[in-house]
Amino acid sequence: MKVAILGMGSVGKGLMQVISERDLGLVVTAVADSRSAIMDRDGISIDEVLEAKRLRGYCGDTSLSAMDVVTKGTYDVLVEVTPTNALTGEPGLSHILAALDRGRHVVTSNKGPIAREYERLRRCAAEKGVLLRYEATVGGAIPIIHTLEQGLAGNRVLAIFGVLNGTCNYILCRMAAEGLSYEQALLEAREMGYAEADPTYDVKGIDPAIKLVILANTFWKKPVQLEDVEVTGIDMLTNDALRLAEEQDCTIRLIAEAIPDRGILRVAPRLLPLSHPLVVDGTLNAITIETDMAGEITLIGKGAGSVETASAIIGDLLYIRDFHEGRHKKTP
Amino acid sequence: MKVAILGMGSVGKGLMQVISERDLGLVVTAVADSRSAIMDRDGISIDEVLEAKRLRGYCGDTSLSAMDVVTKGTYDVLVEVTPTNALTGEPGLSHILAALDRGRHVVTSNKGPIAREYERLRRCAAEKGVLLRYEATVGGAIPIIHTLEQGLAGNRVLAIFGVLNGTCNYILCRMAAEGLSYEQALLEAREMGYAEADPTYDVKGIDPAIKLVILANTFWKKPVQLEDVEVTGIDMLTNDALRLAEEQDCTIRLIAEAIPDRGILRVAPRLLPLSHPLVVDGTLNAITIETDMAGEITLIGKGAGSVETASAIIGDLLYIRDFHEGRHKKTP
């Protein structure tokens, strides 16, 4: 199966390395970064492309763009991992739409396009008979979309509750464990590389709200938007609140919740018993899916990281490969 | 897709109900219980069959057997949920082999055949180009096999650790929480319906060992057998041991572990910190998968129950349906 990769950040490079090292039946036929692209219908040399990127800062021919790859490249699946704005969805959105329009499968780790235009993208993929997979957009390495769509297939999802932002979880853990103020814990999170210079997107709850929209659209019949989510961040939380929680054997976590029957779509700090499965440590993510047959299923794992994201993308690529090749036989 | 169901216990009946209530694209063309069977290539009336079973204790024609359904029935997938011996694997094993031999897909909740003869069954399915799915054999409603095979596809599984027996977990929880002796907690588990009259199979660790063999065979290259598992049960545990654990903010759980690189295949009581994700309450099951790319992924959910088992079987049936029909498009 031929794969074109847009984006040569840590995820794109990590993905190329995994594809070159493992015998997964995947051939990379095109790669693009922000300045150049390289295409070869018979497969490019991943080593050479990575080396070129390392030496001169771009991967291929500077007269070619990512959109050239999308519209002219030879590939079965487009992997869209460009640095894309999580709110506008660009440039990822345009790439994905153009690839689907050409009847190509798409795998992406970009939240923006999926959160903003899920319904449009889903329809477009369905019309063309191709797959759009986005496991890497939510919960890092946790195969939450696989679980919702395949593992729990046939179940009705009654609710989802999740810790979807590792930065906030880390800050809350440190406030509770060491009695730090929000400002002190944020500073520490920055020093550890868990929080960005401008932490607004995380601490105001926008990032988990975007992920919640993606999850809700995956199982909720009515399409939802970021504007539908009621969002409260953790930036107004005082250490007093955490101390009070502790007195009741509880703690506070930033919980994203989607409950279709009650129309609830919310991100807010919530009081949870210390023994609750969503009370996870550090930058971990955790998601509980409440269903009618399987009951409550909780998944816990690393919510971020380039290798973890590559893992989620590989899972999507192999899922598409199995359908693409009708390969439902295990090798004897 | 046409489905034949062998076994009309709570799982078989629950499954039939779900299939009749939901529009899953599944038609039941044959059903067998221990005394009779009924077949109709155009689909049987599930309501009538359930009613017949309720009124007279068997479902169909007493001159027909389960094996008649397997060898003469019209079906794409055989669902094998007969009361089958978990150690010998019969009668399920013979049914499954005969169905695979006819080139039919098989879904089963029976641990015995999969634990005893996985390699043989896998080869047989591969030769015939059909699927053998057994999600319901391990972890109840937790989609652990889906996660290993699809969700984490492309990952190398380095180790699996799991709480795979709800009865033992319940007993250990009660011993720790109430200071009960093993005997007192076992008695309580019996009263709650969590332990059988003869609890040997659970408390000696045989049940989790069988499940560990199934998990190991799913991801481990070398086929393994029940005899390869080093098993210690919980029946010799004293309350003193739990008290000592508690003094270190730990507790004791019966952990099944498979670590291919170190050749470890073991079920034994283990000391775990109270905050460890595998420290789950009551009859819950929990499984941690350690992988090279996705890191550690933990799944928690109900480990038993007829609806939960039906959920796992439905997940397998829909997986097969999607391949069977090449249906990889979401409806527009």
Q: Specify whether B211 is catalytic.
A: yes
A332 vs B126, B154, B322: nearest CB:
B126
How many contacts, defined by CB atoms under 8 Å, are there between A and B?
175
Mutate to test the interface with A, among B17, B19, B327, B329 (most CBs of A within 10 A): B329
B151 vs A122, A147, A154: nearest CB:
A147
Chain A contacts of B301, Cβ < 8 Å?
Answer: 294-298
Tell me the nearest-neighbour CA distance from A307 into chain B, angstroms: 6
B169 with B163: CB under 8 angstroms? Answer: yes
Mutate to test the interface with A, among B127, B298, B317, B327 (most CBs of A within 10 A): B298
Does residue A6 sit in the same domain as residue A134? yes
Q: Is residue B330 part of a domain?
A: no
- Per the listing, tokens 């999740």 go with A162
pLDDT given for residue A268 in this prediction: 98
Average pLDDT over residues A122-132: 95
Tens of pLDDT, residue by residue over A276-290, are: 999 999 999 999 999
The Cβ of residue A159 has, within 10 Å, a number of other Cβ atoms equal to 17
Question: Is any Cβ of chain A less than 8 angstroms from the Cβ of B129?
Answer: yes
Does residue A215 sit in the same domain as residue A291? yes
Low-confidence ranges of chain B (pLDDT < 70): 325-332
Q: ∠B138-B315-B330 over CA atoms, to 5°?
A: 150
- The 3-class SS string of A187-245 reads HHHHHCCCCCCCCHHHHCCHHHHHHHHHHHHHHCCCCCCHHHCEECCCCCCCHHHHHHH
Distance of alpha carbon A175 from alpha carbon A238, whole angstroms:
9
Domain CATH for A31 = 3.40.50.720
Average pLDDT over residues A239-255: 95
Cis amide linkage into residue B223, ω under 30° from 0 = no
Indicate whether A145 pLDDT > 90.
Answer: yes
Does residue A317 sit in the same domain as residue A275? no
Those residues with Cβ within 8 angstroms of residue A73's Cβ, 6 or more apart along the chain or in another chain: A4, A29, A30, A39
Q: Is residue B41 part of a domain?
A: yes
Q: Is residue A96 part of a domain?
A: yes
Question: Is any Cβ of chain A less than 8 angstroms from the Cβ of B221?
Answer: no
A22 vs B154, B280, B318: nearest CB:
B154
* Residue spans of alpha helices (H) in B64-162: 66-72, 92-101, 111-128, 144-146
Does residue B298 sit in the same domain as residue B314? no
pLDDT given for residue B327 in this prediction: 46
Distance of alpha carbon B251 from alpha carbon B163, whole angstroms:
13
Does residue B119 sit in the same domain as residue B218? no
pLDDT given for residue B323 in this prediction: 75
Distance of alpha carbon B43 from alpha carbon B63, whole angstroms:
20
Q: Which helix (H) or strand (E) is A49 found in, with range?
A: helix A46-56
Does residue B215 sit in the same domain as residue B287? yes
A46 with A16: CB under 8 angstroms? Answer: yes
The Cβ of residue B197 has, within 10 Å, a number of other Cβ atoms equal to 5
Distance of alpha carbon B162 from alpha carbon B209, whole angstroms:
11
pLDDT given for residue B326 in this prediction: 59
Does residue A284 sit in the same domain as residue A155? yes
Does residue B62 sit in the same domain as residue B98? yes
pLDDT given for residue A53 in this prediction: 96
Q: Domain span at residue B73?
A: 2-141+307-324
DSSP state of B38: E
Domain CATH for B181 = 3.30.360.10
pLDDT given for residue A115 in this prediction: 96
Question: What is the share, in percent, of chain A residues with pLDDT greater than 70?
Answer: 98
The chain-wide mean pLDDT, for chain A, equals 94
Tell me the nearest-neighbour CA distance from A234 into chain B, angstroms: 23
Distance of alpha carbon A273 from alpha carbon B124, whole angstroms:
49
Does residue B174 sit in the same domain as residue B117? no
Those residues with Cβ within 8 angstroms of residue B238's Cβ, 6 or more apart along the chain or in another chain: B181, B182
Integer-rounded Cα Rg, in Å, for chain A is 21
Tens of pLDDT, residue by residue over B53-78, are: 999 999 999 999 999 999 999 999 99
Does residue B162 sit in the same domain as residue B122? no
Cis amide linkage into residue B143, ω under 30° from 0 = no
Contact assignment for B294 to A277 by CB distance below 8 Å: no
Q: Is residue B146 part of a domain?
A: no
Count of domains observed in chain B? 2
Catalytic residue from among A2, A13, A211, A302 = A211
Indicate whether A262 pLDDT > 50.
Answer: yes
Tens of pLDDT, residue by residue over A9-66, are: 999 999 999 999 999 999 999 999 999 999 999 999 999 999 999 999 999 999 999 9
A318 vs B154, B296, B318: nearest CB:
B154
pLDDT given for residue A275 in this prediction: 87
- CA separation, residue B54 to residues B13, B50, B59, B311 (Å): 10, 6, 8, 23
Token pair for residue B233? Answer: 């049960």
Indicate whether A332 pLDDT > 90.
Answer: no
Name the amino acid, one letter, at A44.
Answer: I
Distance of alpha carbon A316 from alpha carbon B263, whole angstroms:
30
pTM confidence score: 0.94
Mutate to test the interface with A, among B284, B293, B307 (most CBs of A within 10 A): B293
A139 with A256: CB under 8 angstroms? Answer: no
- Per the listing, tokens 């693409």 go with A324
First-to-last C-alpha distance (Å) of chain A: 21
Average pLDDT over residues A191-218: 95
Does residue B34 sit in the same domain as residue B79? yes
* Torsion over CA: B199, B202, B205, B210 (sign): positive
Does residue A128 sit in the same domain as residue A27? yes
Indicate whether A324 pLDDT > 90.
Answer: no
Distance of alpha carbon B149 from alpha carbon A136, whole angstroms:
17
